[in-house]
Structure formats: structure tokens, C-alpha cells
Amino acid sequence: MPGPSGGLIHHVELWVDDLVAAEEQWAPVMLALGCAPFQSWQAGRSWRLGDCYLVLEQSPALRPGGHDRLRAGLNHVAVHGSRAVVGAALAAGWTLRVDTGDTAHLVDRQGFELEVVCA
């Protein structure tokens, strides 16, 4: 069986309740991480770095109830970053949950958590 061409992760797709609000918070962070806008359609946006990309989608198939990182499913996304990425997130309205100095755990308005590993 052939291995992955660029790495383990091809893409991560997050279904959000409010695409406009999610884009307002995620776009500055993705740009600070060095990602470039990749795809844009009525219900979604994505940003790419190398062979990997992140998708935000407000799908019409989305069930009501919102995201809860403490339920079964995705707890958080962790990325290699810097203090500048943390600053971009805070400026975009993310809430700082935990900052150890080496990592910062940030939460957006819809409850998604992003861990920025700054080591």
C-alpha cells in the first residue's frame, strides 16, 4: 500500500454553526501560521500549508447543538506555531484557556480549541 505523499494528515474539516464568525477568528490564525487561502464556496472556506489543509464548513446537514470539545469527538487541534500566532488568535477574539509558556490553548466563540505549540 502506498504511503502518504506529504505527511500523515491530508485535511481536517470542522463543521461550524456560524461560518462568518468562524472565518473571522480562524482566518487570522491560519494566515499567521503561514497558510494560504485554498478554497472558498458558499458554505465553506479552507486554508492550506503544503499538502495539508483546514476546512471550515457550515453544512446544511449539520445537526443542531453546537460543538462540545468535552463530548466524544474532536477535543482540539494542535499546531506548531509561535507567540505571534497566539497574538493573532487573541486579537481575533479567541479566549486563552491555558498558557504553559511552551503551549497555548485557545478557544473560539463556537467552542473549538486550538493548541499552539510554541517550543
In angstroms, what CA-CA distances link 47 with 3, 23, 61, 64, 96? 23, 11, 22, 25, 23
- Cα separation, 114 vs 1, in Å, equals 32
What is the pTM assigned to this prediction? 0.92
The closest of 92, 89, 22 to 58, measured between CA atoms, is 22
Write down all domains in the chain, each with its CATH number in brackets: 11-117 (3.10.180.10)
pLDDT tens-digit series, residues 77-116: 999 999 999 999 999 999 999 999 999 999 999 999 999 9
DSSP label of 24: H
Q: What pLDDT sits at residue 6?
A: 65
The closest of 15, 40, 37, 43 to 111, measured between CA atoms, is 15
Q: What pLDDT sits at residue 1?
A: 43
C-alpha cell at 9: 494528515
